[in-house]
Amino acid sequence: MILEIFCKVVRPLANRVCEGTLARRRHLASTKCELSVRYVGAKSESVSRVDPVQGGGRTEDQNRSRVDPVQGGRREKENHMKGYIHSIESFGSADGPGIRFIIFLKGCALRCKYCHNVDTWVMKNNEFPAKVRLATGEVAEISVDHAFKDDIREVEEILDMAERYRNYWGETGGITVSGGEPLLQADFLLELLTEAKKRGMNTCIDTAGQPFISEGAAFEKIQDIIEKTDLVLLDIKHIDPEEHKRLTGHSNENILEFAKYLDSIHKPVWIRHVLVPGITDVDEYLEETADFLSTLSNVERIDVLPYHSMGVYKWKELGLPYALEGVEAPSKERVENAKRILSRALNK
């Protein structure tokens, strides 16, 4: 009886978890894998694009639609919003509570020097070569030889796929929308979260908050998105505005404003902070980060993520210079030091 249970239940689940982990690590893949990661979809027929040099949206001409934080995504027919997908992981365990079905969206305006998903920066690949402005100010070019085919999917298709794994979620699991920066495809994200809540799914977004605007239609759209989100994973890249700009190419004023907004509406937040030797792994900055987080009442958890160089190969294959070449991962002692300093924000 025990052997029969193992064969029917435990072994298939273990195999799926392993396959999901391996699939996420595949790079520039052309293989479709519905179990865990599906990198490549139909060839793009999109006529709109995000300007990767500026990291935002721009209008091409009267026959092309503008892509920005309000309009991000594509609507070909009424109630058929489509999103630009980088990959999907069916058994995530590090992006929210429980087992998560994770949708990684394409498009990001930040140019983090340590980014391990640099292949998510450009939302659409219908125009190449693509030029990107790095955090250093240098403009680099990604050739067409290293472009993904656009994987464009409808909300219903994604959620139907998620339903297949729902039995494994238990009481705490659900879906997480990550990226890239999911808020750049705001319309698609809102529809995805809205339909997920109709199905009774727990929802989570992993965001750096960079598209946040505190007024106008963009703010109203973000309000609607957050209303349909059970938990926000907020990436705090750097607490110092100038250092943040050196690290990502953008300042952090609106990101910290976004954190304050989430606190004002009592939205549960988990903070994520990448510890990079010589950049964020500085006691002065860690203390400043803890001081800021101490002003927030909605932070439930703080995760210190040690810097790693496992994504460097993507930079090289895309022909992009990697600014942190030679930087080693922080020691265990420094990781524990960061945890100790930041934890006082939870123990206030």
Return the domain boundaries, the chain.
2-343
In degrees, rounded to 5, the angle at the alpha carbon of residue 151 between the alpha carbons of residues 110 and 120 is: 15
Instruction: For residue 317, give every residue at least 6 positions away whose Cβ sits within 8 Å of its Cβ, in sequence order, or none.
Output: 27, 28, 146
Q: Between residues 98 and 12, which one has the greater pLDDT?
A: 98
Which amino acid would we find at residue 164?
R
pLDDT at position 347: 84
| Mean predicted confidence (pLDDT) in 312-317 | 90
In degrees, rounded to 5, the angle at the alpha carbon of residue 313 between the alpha carbons of residues 312 and 316 is: 95
CA atoms lying within 13 Å on the CB side of residue 28: 13
In degrees, rounded to 5, the angle at the alpha carbon of residue 51 between the alpha carbons of residues 50 and 56 is: 70
Tens digits of per-residue pLDDT, 242-287?
Answer: 999 999 999 999 999 999 999 999 999 999 999 999 999 999 999 9
Average pLDDT over the chain, rounded to an integer = 82
Tens digits of per-residue pLDDT, 178-207?
Answer: 999 999 999 999 999 999 999 999 999 999
Cβ–Cβ under 8 Å, residues 116 and 190: no
Residue with tokens 């709109």: 48
Backbone angles phi, psi at 20, to 5 degrees: -65, -40
pLDDT at position 211: 95
Listed range (17-31, 33-47, 144-158, 219-233) with the worst mean pLDDT: 33-47
Domain 2-343 CATH (choose: 3.40.50.300, 3.20.20.70, 3.10.20.30, 3.20.20.80):
3.20.20.70
Give yes or no for residue 51 having a pLDDT over 80. no
Give yes or no for residue 33 having a pLDDT over 60. no
- Provide the H-helix boundaries in the chain: 2-5, 11-25, 155-163, 186-198, 216-227, 241-248, 253-264, 283-294, 312-317, 332-343
Name the pLDDT band for 123 (thresholds 50, 70, 90): confident
Backbone angles phi, psi at 159, to 5 degrees: -70, -35
Q: Which SS3 state, helix, strand or coil, does residue 264 take?
A: helix
Give yes or no for residue 49 having a pLDDT over 50. no
Name the pLDDT band for 149 (thresholds 50, 70, 90): confident
Residue with tokens 């990001």: 108
pLDDT at position 74: 52
Give yes or no for residue 227 having a pLDDT over 50. yes
| Closest of 242, 252, 297, 249 to residue 273, by C-alpha | 252
Give the chain's largest Cα–Cα span. 67
Cβ–Cβ under 8 Å, residues 309 and 327: yes
Its pTM stands at 0.78
% of the chain surpassing 90 pLDDT: 67
